[in-house]
Structure 1
Amino acid sequence: MYYCCGVTEKGVMPHNEDALLIKDSVIDSGSSEQTIAPPFIAAVSDGVSGERSGELASKMCLELLRDVDYSGDMKLDEELLAIHRRLAEYSESDPEMHNMQATLCGFAVDESNNILTFNVGDSRLYRYRGGRIRQISRDQSLVQLLIDEGAITREERREHVHRNIIFPVFGNVKSTPKVDTVSIDGGMEYGDLLLLCTDGLSDYVSALDIEEILELPKSLKSRLHLLVDKALENGSKDNITVIAVVYYE
Protein backbone atom coordinates (compact mmCIF):
# COMPACT_ATOMS: atom_id res chain seq x y z
CA MET A 1 0.00 0.00 0.00
CA TYR A 2 1.00 3.61 -0.56
CA TYR A 3 0.18 6.76 1.33
CA CYS A 4 0.05 9.78 -0.99
CA CYS A 5 -0.24 13.43 -0.08
CA GLY A 6 -0.18 16.45 -2.38
CA VAL A 7 -0.40 20.24 -2.04
CA THR A 8 -0.77 22.87 -4.76
CA GLU A 9 -0.56 26.59 -4.01
CA LYS A 10 -0.78 29.62 -6.30
CA GLY A 11 1.73 31.50 -4.12
CA VAL A 12 2.20 35.14 -5.11
CA MET A 13 0.75 34.58 -8.58
CA PRO A 14 -2.84 35.64 -9.41
CA HIS A 15 -3.68 32.21 -10.86
CA ASN A 16 -2.49 28.66 -10.35
CA GLU A 17 -1.08 27.15 -13.55
CA ASP A 18 0.06 24.05 -11.62
CA ALA A 19 -2.00 20.93 -10.97
CA LEU A 20 -1.42 17.50 -9.46
CA LEU A 21 -2.68 13.98 -10.04
CA ILE A 22 -2.91 11.19 -7.47
CA LYS A 23 -4.55 8.13 -9.03
CA ASP A 24 -8.10 9.31 -9.87
CA SER A 25 -7.90 12.82 -8.38
CA VAL A 26 -6.77 15.91 -10.30
CA ILE A 27 -6.66 19.11 -8.25
CA ASP A 28 -5.45 22.65 -8.94
CA SER A 29 -6.10 24.09 -5.48
CA GLY A 30 -5.58 22.89 -1.92
CA SER A 31 -4.45 19.41 -0.91
CA SER A 32 -5.25 15.73 -1.28
CA GLU A 33 -4.46 12.67 0.86
CA GLN A 34 -5.03 9.07 -0.16
CA THR A 35 -4.03 5.56 0.84
CA ILE A 36 -4.03 3.48 -2.33
CA ALA A 37 -3.04 0.15 -3.77
CA PRO A 38 -1.28 -0.28 -7.12
CA PRO A 39 -1.54 0.19 -9.99
CA PHE A 40 -1.65 3.99 -9.98
CA ILE A 41 -0.03 7.10 -11.41
CA ALA A 42 1.05 10.26 -9.56
CA ALA A 43 2.21 13.38 -11.38
CA VAL A 44 2.59 17.16 -11.33
CA SER A 45 2.11 19.50 -14.28
CA ASP A 46 3.01 23.16 -14.73
CA GLY A 47 1.47 25.40 -17.39
CA VAL A 48 4.39 26.94 -19.25
CA SER A 49 4.97 30.56 -18.31
CA GLY A 50 4.30 33.00 -21.12
CA GLU A 51 2.05 30.61 -23.02
CA ARG A 52 -1.69 31.13 -23.15
CA SER A 53 -4.06 28.99 -21.11
CA GLY A 54 -1.43 27.44 -18.85
CA GLU A 55 -4.08 26.64 -16.27
CA LEU A 56 -6.11 24.63 -18.77
CA ALA A 57 -3.04 22.93 -20.24
CA SER A 58 -1.78 21.50 -16.94
CA LYS A 59 -5.21 20.37 -15.78
CA MET A 60 -6.16 18.86 -19.14
CA CYS A 61 -2.80 17.07 -19.36
CA LEU A 62 -3.41 15.39 -15.99
CA GLU A 63 -7.05 14.61 -16.72
CA LEU A 64 -5.99 12.77 -19.87
CA LEU A 65 -3.29 10.95 -17.88
CA ARG A 66 -5.86 10.02 -15.21
CA ASP A 67 -7.83 8.17 -17.87
CA VAL A 68 -4.88 5.92 -18.77
CA ASP A 69 -5.58 2.41 -17.44
CA TYR A 70 -1.98 1.70 -16.47
CA SER A 71 -0.45 -1.77 -16.24
CA GLY A 72 3.07 -3.14 -16.34
CA ASP A 73 2.84 -4.32 -19.94
CA MET A 74 1.81 -0.89 -21.25
CA LYS A 75 4.12 1.29 -23.34
CA LEU A 76 3.59 4.37 -21.21
CA ASP A 77 5.78 6.66 -23.33
CA GLU A 78 3.45 6.08 -26.28
CA GLU A 79 0.42 6.91 -24.13
CA LEU A 80 2.12 10.11 -22.99
CA LEU A 81 2.90 11.20 -26.54
CA ALA A 82 -0.75 10.57 -27.42
CA ILE A 83 -1.68 13.02 -24.64
CA HIS A 84 0.73 15.55 -26.14
CA ARG A 85 -0.96 15.19 -29.51
CA ARG A 86 -4.40 15.67 -27.95
CA LEU A 87 -3.27 18.90 -26.31
CA ALA A 88 -1.67 20.17 -29.51
CA GLU A 89 -4.78 19.35 -31.55
CA TYR A 90 -7.01 21.06 -29.02
CA SER A 91 -4.89 24.21 -28.96
CA GLU A 92 -4.85 24.40 -32.76
CA SER A 93 -8.65 24.05 -32.92
CA ASP A 94 -9.28 27.13 -30.76
CA PRO A 95 -7.46 30.46 -31.33
CA GLU A 96 -8.02 31.37 -27.68
CA MET A 97 -6.02 28.31 -26.61
CA HIS A 98 -3.28 28.53 -29.24
CA ASN A 99 -0.03 26.84 -28.22
CA MET A 100 -1.08 26.03 -24.66
CA GLN A 101 1.69 23.94 -23.10
CA ALA A 102 2.55 22.14 -19.88
CA THR A 103 5.38 20.20 -18.25
CA LEU A 104 4.75 16.75 -16.81
CA CYS A 105 6.71 14.79 -14.22
CA GLY A 106 5.55 11.69 -12.40
CA PHE A 107 5.73 7.97 -11.90
CA ALA A 108 3.59 4.92 -12.48
CA VAL A 109 3.39 1.95 -10.11
CA ASP A 110 2.27 -1.30 -11.71
CA GLU A 111 0.42 -4.24 -10.17
CA SER A 112 3.75 -5.81 -9.09
CA ASN A 113 5.03 -2.58 -7.44
CA ASN A 114 7.51 -1.89 -10.23
CA ILE A 115 7.97 1.83 -10.80
CA LEU A 116 8.48 3.71 -14.05
CA THR A 117 9.24 7.43 -13.80
CA PHE A 118 8.65 9.93 -16.60
CA ASN A 119 9.54 13.56 -17.22
CA VAL A 120 9.01 16.25 -19.82
CA GLY A 121 10.19 19.73 -18.81
CA ASP A 122 11.71 20.99 -15.57
CA SER A 123 9.43 19.72 -12.83
CA ARG A 124 11.27 17.20 -10.65
CA LEU A 125 11.17 13.79 -8.99
CA TYR A 126 13.34 13.02 -5.97
CA ARG A 127 13.79 9.90 -3.85
CA TYR A 128 14.29 10.40 -0.12
CA ARG A 129 16.02 7.47 1.58
CA GLY A 130 17.98 7.29 4.82
CA GLY A 131 17.77 11.04 5.39
CA ARG A 132 19.14 11.99 1.95
CA ILE A 133 17.44 13.00 -1.28
CA ARG A 134 18.54 12.12 -4.80
CA GLN A 135 17.12 13.66 -7.95
CA ILE A 136 15.82 10.95 -10.27
CA SER A 137 14.45 13.10 -13.08
CA ARG A 138 16.67 15.23 -15.28
CA ASP A 139 15.68 18.81 -16.12
CA GLN A 140 14.98 19.32 -19.81
CA SER A 141 16.27 22.86 -19.87
CA LEU A 142 18.98 25.04 -21.37
CA VAL A 143 20.66 25.63 -18.01
CA GLN A 144 20.84 21.87 -17.37
CA LEU A 145 22.51 21.47 -20.77
CA LEU A 146 25.00 24.20 -19.83
CA ILE A 147 25.68 22.45 -16.51
CA ASP A 148 26.25 19.14 -18.30
CA GLU A 149 28.73 20.87 -20.63
CA GLY A 150 30.54 22.52 -17.71
CA ALA A 151 29.68 26.03 -18.92
CA ILE A 152 27.99 27.00 -15.62
CA THR A 153 27.84 25.58 -12.11
CA ARG A 154 24.73 24.31 -10.36
CA GLU A 155 24.92 27.34 -8.06
CA GLU A 156 24.69 29.67 -11.09
CA ARG A 157 21.53 27.96 -12.35
CA ARG A 158 19.05 29.98 -10.29
CA GLU A 159 20.21 33.42 -11.47
CA HIS A 160 21.10 32.51 -15.05
CA VAL A 161 19.53 34.78 -17.68
CA HIS A 162 18.21 31.74 -19.60
CA ARG A 163 16.93 29.80 -16.57
CA ASN A 164 13.34 29.81 -17.90
CA ILE A 165 14.15 28.25 -21.27
CA ILE A 166 13.00 24.64 -21.42
CA PHE A 167 12.87 22.12 -24.25
CA PRO A 168 9.57 21.29 -26.04
CA VAL A 169 6.83 20.17 -23.65
CA PHE A 170 3.30 18.80 -23.91
CA GLY A 171 1.08 20.72 -26.33
CA ASN A 172 3.90 22.31 -28.34
CA VAL A 173 2.50 22.57 -31.86
CA LYS A 174 5.91 22.82 -33.57
CA SER A 175 7.95 20.10 -31.87
CA THR A 176 7.35 16.74 -30.26
CA PRO A 177 8.66 16.49 -26.69
CA LYS A 178 11.13 13.83 -25.60
CA VAL A 179 9.73 11.67 -22.81
CA ASP A 180 12.51 10.68 -20.41
CA THR A 181 11.74 7.47 -18.51
CA VAL A 182 13.67 5.78 -15.71
CA SER A 183 12.80 2.47 -14.03
CA ILE A 184 13.30 2.17 -10.29
CA ASP A 185 14.56 -1.39 -9.97
CA GLY A 186 12.79 -3.26 -7.20
CA GLY A 187 10.36 -0.40 -6.61
CA MET A 188 10.35 1.39 -3.28
CA GLU A 189 11.84 0.07 -0.08
CA TYR A 190 10.02 0.35 3.23
CA GLY A 191 10.58 3.92 4.50
CA ASP A 192 11.32 5.38 1.07
CA LEU A 193 9.60 8.58 0.03
CA LEU A 194 9.17 9.82 -3.54
CA LEU A 195 8.79 13.58 -3.89
CA LEU A 196 7.40 15.30 -7.00
CA CYS A 197 7.47 19.08 -7.32
CA THR A 198 7.21 21.92 -9.79
CA ASP A 199 10.00 24.47 -10.21
CA GLY A 200 8.23 26.93 -7.93
CA LEU A 201 9.59 24.75 -5.13
CA SER A 202 12.79 23.22 -6.53
CA ASP A 203 14.16 26.58 -7.70
CA TYR A 204 13.84 28.06 -4.21
CA VAL A 205 14.33 25.25 -1.70
CA SER A 206 17.74 23.58 -1.47
CA ALA A 207 18.30 19.84 -1.21
CA LEU A 208 19.53 20.35 2.35
CA ASP A 209 16.37 22.24 3.31
CA ILE A 210 14.20 19.51 1.77
CA GLU A 211 16.09 16.86 3.76
CA GLU A 212 15.79 18.81 7.01
CA ILE A 213 12.05 19.37 6.59
CA LEU A 214 11.34 15.76 5.60
CA GLU A 215 13.21 14.61 8.72
CA LEU A 216 10.89 16.49 11.07
CA PRO A 217 8.61 14.42 13.37
CA LYS A 218 5.44 15.86 11.83
CA SER A 219 2.69 14.50 9.63
CA LEU A 220 3.52 14.22 5.95
CA LYS A 221 0.92 16.83 5.06
CA SER A 222 2.45 19.25 7.59
CA ARG A 223 5.91 18.71 6.14
CA LEU A 224 4.68 19.42 2.62
CA HIS A 225 3.11 22.67 3.79
CA LEU A 226 6.44 23.56 5.43
CA LEU A 227 8.18 22.99 2.07
CA VAL A 228 5.69 25.33 0.41
CA ASP A 229 6.19 27.91 3.16
CA LYS A 230 9.97 27.63 2.76
CA ALA A 231 9.73 28.31 -0.98
CA LEU A 232 7.59 31.40 -0.34
CA GLU A 233 9.95 32.55 2.42
CA ASN A 234 12.85 32.25 -0.04
CA GLY A 235 11.08 34.44 -2.58
CA SER A 236 9.35 31.98 -4.92
CA LYS A 237 7.61 33.94 -7.65
CA ASP A 238 5.82 30.94 -9.12
CA ASN A 239 3.04 28.51 -8.30
CA ILE A 240 4.16 25.70 -5.99
CA THR A 241 3.06 22.08 -6.17
CA VAL A 242 4.44 19.05 -4.33
CA ILE A 243 3.45 15.40 -3.93
CA ALA A 244 4.97 12.89 -1.50
CA VAL A 245 4.38 9.15 -1.67
CA VAL A 246 5.51 6.61 0.94
CA TYR A 247 5.37 2.83 0.74
CA TYR A 248 4.43 0.54 3.57
CA GLU A 249 3.77 -3.18 3.62
Structure 2
Amino acid sequence: MYYCCGVTEKGVMPHNEDALLIRDTVIDSGSSEQTIAAPFIAAVSDGVSGERSGELASKMCLELIRDMGYTGEAKLDDELLAIHSRLAEYSRSDPEMHNMQATLCGIAIDEQNNILTFNVGDSRLYRYRGGRIRQLSRDQSLVQLLIDEGAISHEERNTYVHRNIIFPVFGNVKSAPKVDTVSIEGGMEYGDLLLLCTDGLSDYVSVLDIEEILELPKSLKTRLHLLVNKALENGSKDNITVIAVVYYE
Protein backbone atom coordinates (compact mmCIF):
# COMPACT_ATOMS: atom_id res chain seq x y z
CA MET A 1 0.00 0.00 0.00
CA TYR A 2 1.00 3.59 -0.58
CA TYR A 3 0.15 6.78 1.25
CA CYS A 4 0.04 9.77 -1.10
CA CYS A 5 -0.39 13.39 -0.12
CA GLY A 6 -0.37 16.41 -2.41
CA VAL A 7 -0.70 20.19 -2.08
CA THR A 8 -1.10 22.80 -4.82
CA GLU A 9 -1.05 26.52 -4.09
CA LYS A 10 -1.34 29.55 -6.39
CA GLY A 11 1.00 31.53 -4.12
CA VAL A 12 1.37 35.18 -5.11
CA MET A 13 0.02 34.55 -8.62
CA PRO A 14 -3.56 35.56 -9.53
CA HIS A 15 -4.44 32.01 -10.63
CA ASN A 16 -2.96 28.52 -10.51
CA GLU A 17 -1.34 27.09 -13.64
CA ASP A 18 -0.20 24.02 -11.67
CA ALA A 19 -2.19 20.84 -11.07
CA LEU A 20 -1.59 17.46 -9.49
CA LEU A 21 -2.80 13.91 -10.05
CA ILE A 22 -3.05 11.11 -7.49
CA ARG A 23 -4.60 8.05 -9.09
CA ASP A 24 -8.15 9.19 -10.00
CA THR A 25 -7.98 12.65 -8.45
CA VAL A 26 -6.91 15.78 -10.34
CA ILE A 27 -6.89 19.09 -8.43
CA ASP A 28 -5.63 22.61 -9.08
CA SER A 29 -6.37 23.98 -5.62
CA GLY A 30 -5.95 22.73 -2.06
CA SER A 31 -4.77 19.28 -1.03
CA SER A 32 -5.49 15.58 -1.41
CA GLU A 33 -4.38 12.58 0.63
CA GLN A 34 -5.08 8.94 -0.14
CA THR A 35 -4.05 5.46 0.91
CA ILE A 36 -4.04 3.36 -2.25
CA ALA A 37 -2.80 0.14 -3.77
CA ALA A 38 -0.95 -0.20 -7.08
CA PRO A 39 -1.36 0.26 -9.97
CA PHE A 40 -1.58 4.04 -10.06
CA ILE A 41 0.05 7.20 -11.36
CA ALA A 42 0.99 10.29 -9.36
CA ALA A 43 2.15 13.39 -11.24
CA VAL A 44 2.52 17.17 -11.21
CA SER A 45 2.08 19.49 -14.18
CA ASP A 46 2.93 23.16 -14.62
CA GLY A 47 1.35 25.34 -17.31
CA VAL A 48 4.14 27.08 -19.20
CA SER A 49 4.36 30.75 -18.28
CA GLY A 50 3.80 33.10 -21.19
CA GLU A 51 1.70 30.64 -23.15
CA ARG A 52 -2.08 30.94 -23.30
CA SER A 53 -4.23 28.86 -21.01
CA GLY A 54 -1.44 27.22 -19.05
CA GLU A 55 -3.92 26.40 -16.32
CA LEU A 56 -6.07 24.47 -18.79
CA ALA A 57 -3.06 22.69 -20.31
CA SER A 58 -1.81 21.32 -16.97
CA LYS A 59 -5.20 20.17 -15.77
CA MET A 60 -6.19 18.69 -19.14
CA CYS A 61 -2.85 16.85 -19.39
CA LEU A 62 -3.41 15.17 -16.02
CA GLU A 63 -7.06 14.39 -16.73
CA LEU A 64 -6.05 12.59 -19.91
CA ILE A 65 -3.46 10.57 -17.99
CA ARG A 66 -6.06 9.71 -15.37
CA ASP A 67 -8.54 8.61 -18.01
CA MET A 68 -6.13 6.26 -19.77
CA GLY A 69 -6.49 3.79 -16.85
CA TYR A 70 -2.85 2.87 -16.22
CA THR A 71 -1.80 -0.77 -15.77
CA GLY A 72 1.57 -2.47 -16.08
CA GLU A 73 0.60 -3.55 -19.61
CA ALA A 74 0.55 0.05 -20.87
CA LYS A 75 3.24 1.32 -23.22
CA LEU A 76 3.64 4.50 -21.25
CA ASP A 77 5.89 6.37 -23.69
CA ASP A 78 3.36 5.88 -26.49
CA GLU A 79 0.41 6.78 -24.25
CA LEU A 80 2.06 10.00 -23.10
CA LEU A 81 2.99 11.09 -26.61
CA ALA A 82 -0.60 10.44 -27.69
CA ILE A 83 -1.73 12.78 -24.89
CA HIS A 84 0.71 15.42 -26.12
CA SER A 85 -0.78 15.08 -29.60
CA ARG A 86 -4.30 15.57 -28.24
CA LEU A 87 -3.26 18.72 -26.39
CA ALA A 88 -1.54 20.11 -29.47
CA GLU A 89 -4.56 19.29 -31.64
CA TYR A 90 -6.89 20.96 -29.16
CA SER A 91 -4.79 24.13 -29.09
CA ARG A 92 -4.64 24.26 -32.91
CA SER A 93 -8.44 24.03 -33.10
CA ASP A 94 -9.11 27.02 -30.84
CA PRO A 95 -7.32 30.37 -31.36
CA GLU A 96 -7.96 31.25 -27.71
CA MET A 97 -5.96 28.20 -26.61
CA HIS A 98 -3.19 28.47 -29.20
CA ASN A 99 0.02 26.72 -28.15
CA MET A 100 -1.09 25.94 -24.59
CA GLN A 101 1.69 23.92 -22.97
CA ALA A 102 2.55 22.13 -19.74
CA THR A 103 5.43 20.30 -18.07
CA LEU A 104 4.88 16.83 -16.64
CA CYS A 105 6.72 14.82 -14.00
CA GLY A 106 5.41 11.67 -12.36
CA ILE A 107 5.69 8.06 -11.32
CA ALA A 108 3.75 5.04 -12.55
CA ILE A 109 3.61 2.07 -10.15
CA ASP A 110 2.41 -1.23 -11.60
CA GLU A 111 0.78 -4.29 -10.01
CA GLN A 112 4.18 -5.74 -9.01
CA ASN A 113 5.25 -2.44 -7.42
CA ASN A 114 7.71 -1.69 -10.22
CA ILE A 115 8.16 2.06 -10.55
CA LEU A 116 8.61 3.91 -13.82
CA THR A 117 9.41 7.61 -13.67
CA PHE A 118 8.58 10.04 -16.47
CA ASN A 119 9.52 13.64 -17.05
CA VAL A 120 9.07 16.41 -19.63
CA GLY A 121 10.26 19.89 -18.69
CA ASP A 122 11.64 21.14 -15.38
CA SER A 123 9.27 19.84 -12.73
CA ARG A 124 11.15 17.39 -10.52
CA LEU A 125 11.20 14.02 -8.79
CA TYR A 126 13.30 13.48 -5.66
CA ARG A 127 13.84 10.47 -3.43
CA TYR A 128 14.20 11.00 0.31
CA ARG A 129 16.04 8.11 1.93
CA GLY A 130 17.94 7.94 5.20
CA GLY A 131 17.54 11.66 5.80
CA ARG A 132 19.00 12.65 2.42
CA ILE A 133 17.41 13.96 -0.80
CA ARG A 134 18.50 12.83 -4.26
CA GLN A 135 17.08 14.20 -7.52
CA LEU A 136 15.95 11.32 -9.76
CA SER A 137 14.62 13.33 -12.70
CA ARG A 138 16.74 15.41 -15.07
CA ASP A 139 15.66 18.94 -15.97
CA GLN A 140 14.96 19.41 -19.67
CA SER A 141 16.25 22.97 -19.73
CA LEU A 142 18.94 25.17 -21.22
CA VAL A 143 20.49 25.58 -17.78
CA GLN A 144 20.82 21.83 -17.29
CA LEU A 145 22.35 21.47 -20.76
CA LEU A 146 24.93 24.16 -19.96
CA ILE A 147 25.73 22.52 -16.61
CA ASP A 148 26.22 19.17 -18.37
CA GLU A 149 28.59 20.84 -20.84
CA GLY A 150 30.51 22.60 -18.05
CA ALA A 151 29.59 26.06 -19.37
CA ILE A 152 28.07 27.14 -16.03
CA SER A 153 28.26 25.76 -12.50
CA HIS A 154 25.49 24.38 -10.30
CA GLU A 155 25.84 27.53 -8.18
CA GLU A 156 24.98 29.71 -11.20
CA ARG A 157 21.77 27.78 -11.96
CA ASN A 158 19.36 30.15 -10.19
CA THR A 159 20.98 33.39 -11.38
CA TYR A 160 21.63 32.54 -15.04
CA VAL A 161 19.83 35.05 -17.28
CA HIS A 162 18.13 32.39 -19.45
CA ARG A 163 17.25 30.00 -16.61
CA ASN A 164 13.56 29.88 -17.62
CA ILE A 165 14.17 28.38 -21.06
CA ILE A 166 12.99 24.78 -21.24
CA PHE A 167 12.83 22.27 -24.07
CA PRO A 168 9.52 21.43 -25.86
CA VAL A 169 6.84 20.23 -23.45
CA PHE A 170 3.33 18.79 -23.72
CA GLY A 171 1.13 20.66 -26.19
CA ASN A 172 3.93 22.35 -28.13
CA VAL A 173 2.56 22.71 -31.66
CA LYS A 174 5.99 22.96 -33.34
CA SER A 175 8.00 20.16 -31.72
CA ALA A 176 7.05 16.99 -29.85
CA PRO A 177 8.58 16.59 -26.41
CA LYS A 178 11.11 13.91 -25.51
CA VAL A 179 9.66 11.88 -22.65
CA ASP A 180 12.39 10.74 -20.25
CA THR A 181 11.29 7.42 -18.72
CA VAL A 182 13.47 5.62 -16.18
CA SER A 183 12.79 2.60 -13.97
CA ILE A 184 13.64 2.86 -10.27
CA GLU A 185 15.68 -0.28 -9.70
CA GLY A 186 14.38 -2.21 -6.71
CA GLY A 187 11.32 0.00 -6.34
CA MET A 188 10.86 1.70 -2.99
CA GLU A 189 12.43 0.57 0.26
CA TYR A 190 10.62 0.80 3.58
CA GLY A 191 10.97 4.39 4.80
CA ASP A 192 11.53 5.87 1.33
CA LEU A 193 9.61 8.95 0.29
CA LEU A 194 9.24 10.07 -3.33
CA LEU A 195 8.69 13.80 -3.76
CA LEU A 196 7.28 15.37 -6.93
CA CYS A 197 7.24 19.14 -7.28
CA THR A 198 6.99 22.04 -9.71
CA ASP A 199 9.70 24.68 -10.02
CA GLY A 200 7.77 27.06 -7.75
CA LEU A 201 9.14 24.86 -4.96
CA SER A 202 12.46 23.56 -6.31
CA ASP A 203 13.69 27.01 -7.42
CA TYR A 204 13.15 28.51 -3.97
CA VAL A 205 13.71 25.76 -1.40
CA SER A 206 17.17 24.27 -1.02
CA VAL A 207 17.87 20.55 -0.75
CA LEU A 208 19.03 21.16 2.83
CA ASP A 209 15.74 22.87 3.72
CA ILE A 210 13.74 20.03 2.13
CA GLU A 211 15.71 17.49 4.17
CA GLU A 212 15.24 19.42 7.40
CA ILE A 213 11.49 19.81 6.90
CA LEU A 214 10.93 16.18 5.91
CA GLU A 215 12.86 15.12 9.02
CA LEU A 216 10.38 16.87 11.36
CA PRO A 217 8.16 14.65 13.56
CA LYS A 218 4.96 16.00 12.02
CA SER A 219 2.28 14.59 9.74
CA LEU A 220 3.23 14.34 6.08
CA LYS A 221 0.51 16.80 5.11
CA THR A 222 1.87 19.32 7.62
CA ARG A 223 5.40 18.89 6.27
CA LEU A 224 4.24 19.52 2.71
CA HIS A 225 2.49 22.70 3.80
CA LEU A 226 5.72 23.73 5.55
CA LEU A 227 7.61 23.21 2.27
CA VAL A 228 5.08 25.39 0.44
CA ASN A 229 5.33 28.07 3.14
CA LYS A 230 9.14 27.95 2.96
CA ALA A 231 9.00 28.60 -0.78
CA LEU A 232 6.70 31.58 -0.20
CA GLU A 233 8.97 32.90 2.59
CA ASN A 234 11.91 32.66 0.20
CA GLY A 235 10.13 34.80 -2.37
CA SER A 236 8.58 32.27 -4.75
CA LYS A 237 6.88 34.15 -7.57
CA ASP A 238 5.27 31.05 -9.04
CA ASN A 239 2.57 28.52 -8.27
CA ILE A 240 3.75 25.75 -5.94
CA THR A 241 2.78 22.07 -6.15
CA VAL A 242 4.20 19.08 -4.29
CA ILE A 243 3.27 15.41 -3.90
CA ALA A 244 4.81 12.91 -1.46
CA VAL A 245 4.45 9.14 -1.89
CA VAL A 246 5.33 6.72 0.92
CA TYR A 247 5.36 2.92 0.69
CA TYR A 248 4.40 0.72 3.63
CA GLU A 249 3.60 -2.95 3.98
TM-score by shorter chain over 0.5: yes
Offset of residue 202 of structure 1: 0.2
Matches within 5 A, 1:26-175: 26-175=26-175
For 1:231 and 1:156, locate their aligned partners in 2 and report how far apart those are by CA, in whole Å. Answer: 19
Write the letter of the residue equivalent to 1:162. H
Q: Match of 1:192?
A: 192
Q: Match of 1:182?
A: 182
Offset of residue 136 of structure 1: 0.4
Report SS of the residue matched to 2:169: coil
For 1:173 and 1:204, locate their aligned partners in 2 and report how far apart those are by CA, in whole Å. Answer: 30
Q: Match of 2:221?
A: 221
CA RMSD across the alignment: 0.5
Q: Could you list the structure 1 runs, at least 4 aligned residues long, displaced by more than 2 angstroms after superposition.
A: none
Offset of residue 73 of structure 1: 2.5
Does residue 20 in structure 1 map to residue 20 in structure 2? yes
Report the count of equivalent residues.
249
Task: Spell out, residue by residue over 1:65-90, the C-alpha distance to the aligned partner (whole angstroms, 9 max, x if none).
Answer: 00122122321010000000000000
Task: Spell out, residue by residue over 1:111-144, the C-alpha distance to the aligned partner (whole angstroms, 9 max, x if none).
Answer: 0000000000000000000000110000000000
Q: Match of 1:10?
A: 10
Write the letter of the residue equivalent to 2:5. C
Report SS of the residue matched to 1:118: strand
Write the letter of the residue equivalent to 1:9. E
For 1:159 and 1:61, locate their aligned partners in 2 and report how far apart those are by CA, in whole Å. Answer: 30
Offset of residue 159 of structure 1: 1.1
Offset of residue 207 of structure 1: 0.5
For 1:69 and 1:8, locate their aligned partners in 2 and report how far apart those are by CA, in whole Å. Answer: 23
Offset of residue 213 of structure 1: 0.3
Q: Match of 2:230?
A: 230
Offset of residue 160 of structure 1: 0.9
Report SS of the residue matched to 1:81: helix
What TM-score comes out, normalization by structure 1 length?
Answer: 0.99
Identity of aligned residues (%): 90
